[in-house]
Amino acid sequence: MMKNKAIASAEVHIDVPFHDVDSMGIVWHGHYAKYFEIARCALLDRLGYNYNQMLESGFGWPVIDMRIRYAQPLRFEQKIKVRADLVEYENRLKIDYQVLDVLSGKRLTKGYSVQVAVDISNGEMLFASPPVVAEKIREYQASC
């Protein structure tokens, strides 16, 4: 899953909050999607194509697939780094994720999400990403 070359990347640091853990002090599995979303938003911000900008361009981008591989549990107050790598954009946005322990550097979780463009005016899914995506990628790469 993490073999693809990243087109763009972003990382966020999170201290696992108390309200995300269960009675055993372990992060409830549903919160991993939230951590992925936080990293995904940072990535989209770097590209200059966050959710508000997507809507302004006339497209919604629902998540249609998400996979999470839980290797090690996350715990209360653990310092983690969540990395999001954009690996596909021509027909869909595919983003790979890694959750790492900040202190040890050990990978704790990995996964990916897939989003497709939907034309807001008619609700139809596009089979190729709209040109605005390629424009944002070119602008991002030119600025690096």
Angle made by CA atoms 43, 112, 138, in degrees to the nearest 5: 40
Q: pLDDT confidence of 3, banded at 50, 70, 90?
A: low
What pLDDT was estimated at residue 4? 63
Average pLDDT, the chain: 96
Question: Is pLDDT above 50 for 14?
Answer: yes
**pTM of the prediction?**
0.94
CATH number corresponding to 8-143: 3.10.129.10
Residue at 140: amino acid letter? Y
95 neighbors 44 (Cβ within 8 angstroms): no
Concatenated DSSP letters of 26-58: BB-TTHHHHHHHHHHHHHHHHHT--HHHHHHTT
Helix axes 131-143, 31-47, angle to 10 degrees: 70
Q: What is the mean pLDDT of residues 74-83?
A: 98
Domain ranges of the chain: 8-143
What pLDDT was estimated at residue 2? 47
